[in-house]
Amino acid sequence: MRLTVVTNIPTEYRNPLFDEIHRLLVSDGGELTVLFGGESEKDRQWARPIAAGGGWSKAQVPHAQLHLGNHATYANPYVARMVAKSKPDVVVVGGYAPWTFAIVAWCWLTKTPYLVWSGETTFYAGQNRSARWRRQPIARRAYGALAYGPAAAEYLQTLAFDSKRTTIVGNCIDIDSYRSKVATARRSESDLAARIGIGENRILLSVGGKGISSVLAVADQLDDDIRIVICGTEQGSAGPRVIRVGKVSSDEMPDLYALADCVVHTPRIDRWPHAINESLSAGIPVVASPTGPGCAIVDPEDQSELLRAIAHGLEVGTSSDQSIRDAITEPLREWDVPRMAERFVNAAEQACS
């Protein structure tokens, strides 16, 4: 099977997934081509240029960036031509960018089956009837869909995608690779703690500051030796218990996770919860995460519940031995890269059959 994936931007964390999809396809005489419709966005913490190697074909589609109010998108007049050049048996198209419609039209004309790979949710899409109206033709002609998670799958059903042909593939990272990076950072003597001034305090880490207002609202009720460290955003005021470190490079993030006793991530919903993926991979307790030892799903508006979850997470994180860290990571294994790739390829093969 020749599989062509058209996605928006090159991102480092996707490379292991494409490597594994390529391995599965090649083992059965197939081939993977990945086309990127946009470019790496400098303000994204995990954005990197297209990686070399991997064995799979990759290319940047010539494009022009369009700014529609606060929203940026891309015009890609050559995308259908590049898809055709890859001679696919099946196409996976990411999201609902303007170039999606060109690919859908090409697939319809050539009778090539396609799947839509989507992380959109009802919460983010809201009641935007015009967006739903524009996207429904994509759903009607698609063989099926690949959803990041259950919330994305629910949104796809509102567009009339067949639930029986919607596969929840996940949106994970390379668990063992990231786990190893944080373990190495724990053993090393990084100067990061001294640079950000955390001393001997226990660390409650927020990556991206998502949902942090609910945590800051209870900051004065936390023990004196707890510091809330917020990275990835410069916005908001600091305080006696709050340390804002701004942007942290991808290379230095494992050092920051190594210092954390607990991670708090309390937005109402997050389509790309890499803070949760990375924390659980490293065996760090997370408040507002998938269930697991030392982890809790909480209502961030319930201050008593939030404080109890934070206290438990810090207690577990401060005293974590390897067996506890392994137990924290275990629920994530169902969504690791090899299993994601297997779901991805199985769905593509079904579309071809």
Query: d(Cα 263, Cα 207) in Å, to the nearest integer?
Result: 8
**Whether residue 48 sits in one domain with residue 12:** yes
Report pLDDT for 338: 95
Report pLDDT for 74: 67
Report pLDDT for 237: 64
Query: d(Cα 73, Cα 52) in Å, to the nearest integer?
Result: 25
**Whether residue 190 sits in one domain with residue 162:** no
Q: pLDDT digit string (tens) for 195-253?
A: 888 888 999 999 988 888 889 999 999 999 999 999 987 666 667 889 998 888 888 99
User: Total structural domains in the chain?
Assistant: 2
Report pLDDT for 83: 95
| Measured CA angle at 324 (ends 285, 326), to 5 deg | 90
Report pLDDT for 76: 75
Report pLDDT for 297: 65
Report pLDDT for 95: 81
Which domain does 87 fall in, by range?
A: 2-172+336-352
**Whether residue 149 sits in one domain with residue 292:** no
**Whether residue 87 sits in one domain with residue 182:** no
Report pLDDT for 321: 82
Report pLDDT for 200: 84
Other beta carbons less than 10 A from residue 127's beta carbon: 7
Q: Is 117 exposed, middle or buried (0-12, 13-18, 19+ CB in 10 A)?
A: buried
Other beta carbons less than 10 A from residue 28's beta carbon: 9
**Whether residue 199 sits in one domain with residue 91:** no
Report pLDDT for 45: 47
- pTM reported for the whole predicted model: 0.85
Report pLDDT for 135: 87
**Whether residue 249 sits in one domain with residue 153:** no
Closest listed residue to residue 287, CA positions, set 297, 279, 278 = 297
SS (H, E, C) 36-94: ECCCCCCCCCCECCCCCCCCCEEEECCCEEEEECCEEEEECCCHHHHHHHCCCCEEEEE
> Alpha carbon 79 to chain centroid distance?
25
- Furthest-apart CA pair in the chain: how many Å? 66
CATH of the domain at 279: 3.40.50.2000
**Whether residue 44 sits in one domain with residue 85:** yes
Which residues of the chain, if any, have pLDDT below 70?
Answer: 9, 38-53, 66-74, 126-129, 234-238, 271, 289-297
Cβ–Cβ under 8 Å, residues 39 and 29: no
**Whether residue 164 sits in one domain with residue 200:** no
Query: d(Cα 286, Cα 38) in Å, to the nearest integer?
Result: 32
**Whether residue 74 sits in one domain with residue 9:** yes
Report pLDDT for 105: 94
**Whether residue 297 sits in one domain with residue 234:** yes
**Whether residue 181 sits in one domain with residue 328:** yes
**Whether residue 289 sits in one domain with residue 143:** no
Report pLDDT for 22: 96
Which tokens belong to 235? 């916005």
Report pLDDT for 134: 83
Report pLDDT for 51: 59
Query: d(Cα 271, Cα 273) in Å, to the nearest integer?
Result: 6
Cβ–Cβ under 8 Å, residues 228 and 206: yes
Indicate the SS3 state at residue 167: strand
